[in-house]
Structures are given as C-alpha cells and as structure tokens.
Amino acid sequence: MYNSRKKPMEEIPEEMTAVWSCSNENCNCWMRDNFALDTQPDCPQCQSAMVKGEKKLAVVANTSFNHNKSV
Ligand SMILES: [Zn+2]
C-alpha cells in the first residue's frame, strides 16, 4: 500500500450526507436533504423528480451561532 500523498494542513472531515439527486441523467443537480423544503423535491433546473441518496460531503460546521459572544 502506497501512502505518498501529502497530508493537508487541515483535514476537512467528511461524512455520508443525505442528498437528493436529479433523476435526469443529463443533469448533475443535487441538493442536501437539509436544504430540501419538500419531502419530494423537484429539480430546480430541469423539474425532474429527485431521488434520495447519499453523498460523501465535507461536514459543514455550524459556527454561525457561536459568533455572538456577548456575555
Ligand atoms: Zn435536474
């Protein structure tokens, strides 16, 4: 096993995230399940039905709440 890749300074953790992918194979559109407002969203680009799946995505740190440090 070769392990010659340089280690990046800061590793972004990734995890399997629930996403919706467009069922149209000519369309690469997808969205995170968190951002989908409908239970069965349509593709915003081609209006095709979207299929639920998983993608390995960088974890989005929800830091916006911690910025208000007014104690
Ligand atoms: Zn689409």
Q: What is the pLDDT of residues 36-63, one digit of tens each?
A: 666 788 999 999 999 999 999 988 766 5
**Which tokens sit at 25?**
């194979």
If you average pLDDT over every residue of the chain, what do you get? 80
End-to-end, the C-alpha distance of the chain in Å comes to 52
Distance (Å) from CA 28 to ligand 1 centroid: 6
Distance (Å) from CA 25 to ligand 1 centroid: 8
Distance (Å) from CA 65 to ligand 1 centroid: 33
For residue 54, give the 3-state DSSP assignment: strand
Share of the chain above pLDDT 70, in %: 68
pLDDT higher than 60, residue 6:
yes
Q: How confident is the model at residue 35 (pLDDT cuts 50, 70, 90)?
A: low
> What amino acid occupies position 67?
H
Domain boundaries, the chain: 14-60
Distance (Å) from CA 37 to ligand 1 centroid: 16
Higher pLDDT, 60 or 20: 20
